[in-house]
């Protein structure tokens, strides 16, 4: 469903990677690995159509993502380095606001349930600036509980989480793959995800790939 | 589509309510700048009446400028702008929602406050009425045009000064017709022509500005 061919990324004078290609089908997951600064985040941003590819092509269901535009974004869920939550809002408000902006209905009960699954019960009415780093990450990840879009692109989802939360998030990703979803994620922690076929891609400096 | 614009407006209003200090400081800036003029120029009603339209409008422009740098910067910093850019709707609509929300918390209070401040300049009831109308009609254009500048300077260090240099010249037509409307009332010419032109500027500003703004935001996010 997701095909990437001959992708190249240039930042300033430096070529981060070139000739990157892979293919991902329903129920499969891609682990993106590489040293710091090897271009993992840049590659994810290209997959999300946030930054253009200098060279190469990304296709979704056989069509270039640039051409698909909104139709592609409708099937894409991205979680970046930043948590994309508002410090002034409570976890509950954050969750419901982001659902409304993504044009999805999320009633209060479902949202509360999602927060509870991420271990945030009792914190749902506290402004997010009072939460710890790990709790903020949990708020961001609570979006995934009711996320039914096909392609998940997650940049370091496990950062700042404790082991029980990591397990829970890995479970969410596993359930997503079992439903026939796709996931691309970067991580420095090897976490076993229960279901689906796992592919790996290692980004090596230019010339060594 | 309307649902999305409404969702953005209600989100931004809620955020603004949680950070009331920003709104209040811009309003106090407006009040103080306007109040300094009668103190500095001296109590000559004739002169003050002449100065009033220009002073009030320039102060309104500057007060609007104060809140512009944060229009997209906060969303950019915490990553929500990325999420908005990835929403399955045109980014221009989201910008439109943000522009309208910005007007509700910056332009609208200025317009409502202006007649009270206008009393310091010994303006007639008619002139005060036209002043409020001109600000109500004209300030949405300030938010719309300002959004382009805010998007272009997003992520630039020292972007605040650059933003003023970029946006203030573009505010000139709004200033001329806004202050002109009040001036025309004071001199007895009638403000209708000025207000109509101001309305045209606002319509153009609010409905065309979101698209270049969206393009600038996409470049800033790359």
Same domain as A89, residue A68: no
What pLDDT was estimated at residue B43? 83
Contact A24, A2 (CB under 8 A): yes
Same domain as A174, residue A139: no
Q: How far is B170 from chain A (nearest CA, A)?
A: 30
pTM across the whole model? 0.91
Taking 60 as the threshold, does the pLDDT of residue B50 lie above it? yes
With contacts defined as CB-CB under 8 Å, which chain B residues touch A83? 78-79
Interface test with B, best of A11, A102, A129, A147 (most B CBs within 10 A): A102
Domain that holds residue A119: 85-148
3-state secondary structure of A60: strand
Query: CA A49, B156, A102 angle in degrees (round to 5)?
Result: 35
Going from the C-alpha of B151 to that of each of B120, B160, B213, the distances in angstroms are 37, 12, 6
Same domain as A182, residue A161: yes
Q: How far is A190 from chain B (nearest CA, A)?
A: 26
Q: Does residue A16 belong to any structural domain of this protein?
A: yes
Ranges under pLDDT 70 in chain A: 194-195, 205-209
* Count of domains forming chain A: 2
pLDDT tens-digit series, residues B130-155: 999 999 999 999 999 999 999 999 98
What pLDDT was estimated at residue B184? 92
Domain boundaries, chain B: 2-221
Instruction: Count the neighbouring beta carbons within 10 Å of the beta carbon of residue B121.
Output: 25
Last residue of a domain, one of A127, A148, A169: A148
DSSP 8-state class, residue B88: S
**b (16+ CB within 10 A) / e for A71-96:** ebbbbbbbbbebbbbbbbbbbbbbbb
User: For chain B, what percent of residues have pLDDT higher than 90?
Assistant: 79
Interacting residues of A160 by C-beta distance below 8 A, sequence separation 6+: A133, A134, A136, A137
CATH number at residue A181: 3.40.50.300
Q: How far is B160 from chain A (nearest CA, A)?
A: 23
Last residue of a domain, one of A148, A165, A193: A148
- Sheet of A182-186: strand order equals A76-79, A151-155, A182-186, A28-34, A197-203
What pLDDT was estimated at residue B158? 80
What pLDDT was estimated at residue A188? 81
Same domain as A181, residue A114: no
Contact B71, B145 (CB under 8 A): no
What pLDDT was estimated at residue A208? 46
3-state secondary structure of A27: coil
CB contact under 8 A, A101 and B83: yes
Tell which residue, A149, A141, A199, A131, has the closest CA to residue A170.
Answer: A141
Two tokens, residue A167: 């397990």
Of A80, A88, A103, the CB nearest to B15: A88
Same domain as A101, residue A59: no
Same domain as A206, residue A164: yes
CB contact under 8 A, B7 and A89: no
Same domain as A193, residue A166: yes
Same domain as A155, residue A140: no
Rounded Cα–Cα distance for residues A102 and A76 (Å): 10
What pLDDT was estimated at residue A207? 47
Whether chain B has a CB inside 8 Å of the CB on A137: the answer is no
Tell which residue, A101, A47, A183, has the closest CA to residue B88.
Answer: A101
Same domain as A156, residue A65: yes
Pairing of strands A2-11, A55-60: antiparallel
- Minimum Cα–Cα distance from A93: chain B residue: B11
pLDDT tens-digit series, residues B177-186: 999 999 999 8
Q: What is the ipTM of this complex?
A: 0.88
């Amino acid at each position: 469903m997701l095909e990437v061919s001959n992708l190249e990324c240039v930042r300033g004078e430096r070529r981060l990677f070139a000739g990157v290609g892979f293919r991902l089908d329903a129920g499969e997951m891609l682990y993106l690995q590489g040293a710091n600064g090897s271009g993992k985040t840049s590659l994810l941003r290209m997959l999300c159509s946030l930054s253009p590819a200098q060279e190469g092509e990304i296709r979704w269901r056989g069509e270039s993502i640039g051409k698909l535009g909104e139709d592609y974004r409708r099937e894409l869920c991205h979680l970046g380095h930043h948590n994309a939550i508002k410090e002034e809002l409570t976890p509950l408000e954050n969750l419901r606001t982001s659902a409304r902006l993504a044009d999805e209905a999320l009633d209060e009960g479902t949202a509360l349930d999602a927060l509870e699954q991420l271990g945030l019960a009792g914190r749902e009415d506290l402004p997010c600036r009072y939460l710890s780093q790990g709790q903020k990450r949990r708020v961001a990840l609570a979006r995934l509980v009711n996320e039914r879009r096909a392609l998940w692109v997650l940049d370091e989802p496990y950062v700042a989480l404790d082991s029980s939360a990591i397990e829970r998030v890995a479970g969410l990703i596993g359930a997503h793959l079992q439903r026939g979803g796709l996931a691309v994620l970067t991580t420095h922690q090897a976490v076993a995800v229960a279901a689906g076929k796992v592919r790996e891609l290692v980004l090596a400096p230019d010339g060594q790939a | 589509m309307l649902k999305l614009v409404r969702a953005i407006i209600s989100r931004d209003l809620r955020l603004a309510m949680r950070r009331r200090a920003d709104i209040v400081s811009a309003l106090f800036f407006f009040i103080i700048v306007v109040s300094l003029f009668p103190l500095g120029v001296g109590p000559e009603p004739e002169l003050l009446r002449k100065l009033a339209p220009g002073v009030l409008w320039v102060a309104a422009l500057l007060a609007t400028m104060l809140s512009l740098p944060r229009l997209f910067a906060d969303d950019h910093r915490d990553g929500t702008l990325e999420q908005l850019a990835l929403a399955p709707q045109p980014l221009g609509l989201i910008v439109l929602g943000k522009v309208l929300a910005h007007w509700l918390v910056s332009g609208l209070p200025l317009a409502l406050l202006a007649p009270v401040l206008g009393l310091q300049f010994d303006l007639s009831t008619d002139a005060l009425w036209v002043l409020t109308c001109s600000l109500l009609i004209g300030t949405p254009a300030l938010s719309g045009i300002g959004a382009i500048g805010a998007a272009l300077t997003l992520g630039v260090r020292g972007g605040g000064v650059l933003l003023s240099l970029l946006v203030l010249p573009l505010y000139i037509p709004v200033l001329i017709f806004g202050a002109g409307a009040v001036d025309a009332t004071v001199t007895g010419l009638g403000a209708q022509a000025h207000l109509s032109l101001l309305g045209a500027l606002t319509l153009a500003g609010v409905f065309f500005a979101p698209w270049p703004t969206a393009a600038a935001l996409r470049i800033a996010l790359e």
